[in-house]
């Protein structure tokens, strides 16, 4: 059975190794605040779908940054913060420590559902589509939608601030 024993792999941490049958595993989590200990505060009634991937970027990947898959390792490894013309793989787990996930470690990316992402500098209006921008940040998406769209803003996000979005990738 794929992912056997993976029930305890929670959000907000990374691992230096994982069982072979868990690479690329998807798992649903409740949309709760994993940064608090004890009883978790509910953010919404949505589920958050995450994928277990390896950081192959050569450096740390920071929380709430949009990342792209490594060529030849789709659904298993990410190797860079996504740029404006990159197909987004997902958003780095917002509950990881501020230093991010070290190179070579395994961690969750959000591929569907609510999470936090960082505005590229122009600010984003609530309930508008968002797309990848430079350095793994997000911006208002162009109209009509493109393959670089990530989802939509759940609330207004001020310039260069982190805010809530709903990730809705078509190929998760």
H or E element, residue 122: none
Residues 6+ apart with CB under 8 A from 144: none
| Residue 129 contacts residue 77 (beta carbons within 8 Å) | no
pTM for the whole thing? 0.92
Going from the N-terminus, what domains does the chain have, and what CATH number goes with each?
25-31+43-168 (2.40.300.10)
E-assigned strand segments in the chain: 26-32, 42-55, 66-69, 77-81, 90-92, 106-118, 129-132, 138-140, 149-153, 162-168
- pLDDT confidence of 7, banded at 50, 70, 90? low
- pLDDT confidence of 142, banded at 50, 70, 90? confident
Reference 131, options 80, 71, 86, 79; nearest CA is 86
Mean pLDDT of 67-80: 97
């Amino acid at each position: 059975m794929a992912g056997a024993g993976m029930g305890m792999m929670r959000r907000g941490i990374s691992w230096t190794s994982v069982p072979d049958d868990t690479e690329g595993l998807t798992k649903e989590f409740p949309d709760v605040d994993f940064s608090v200990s004890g009883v978790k505060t509910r953010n919404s009634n949505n589920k958050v779908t995450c994928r277990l991937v390896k950081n192959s970027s050569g450096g740390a990947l920071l929380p709430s940054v949009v990342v792209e898959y490594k060529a030849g390792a789709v659904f298993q490894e990410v190797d860079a913060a996504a740029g404006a013309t990159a197909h987004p793989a997902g958003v780095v787990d917002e509950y990881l420590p501020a230093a991010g996930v070290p190179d070579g470690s395994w961690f969750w990316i959000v591929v569907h559902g609510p999470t936090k992402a960082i505005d590229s500098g122009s600010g984003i209006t609530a309930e508008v589509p968002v797309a990848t921008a430079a350095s793994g940040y997000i911006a208002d998406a162009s109209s009509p939608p493109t393959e670089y769209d990530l989802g939509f803003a759940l609330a207004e996000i001020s310039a260069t601030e982190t805010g809530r979005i709903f990730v809705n990738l078509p190929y998760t």
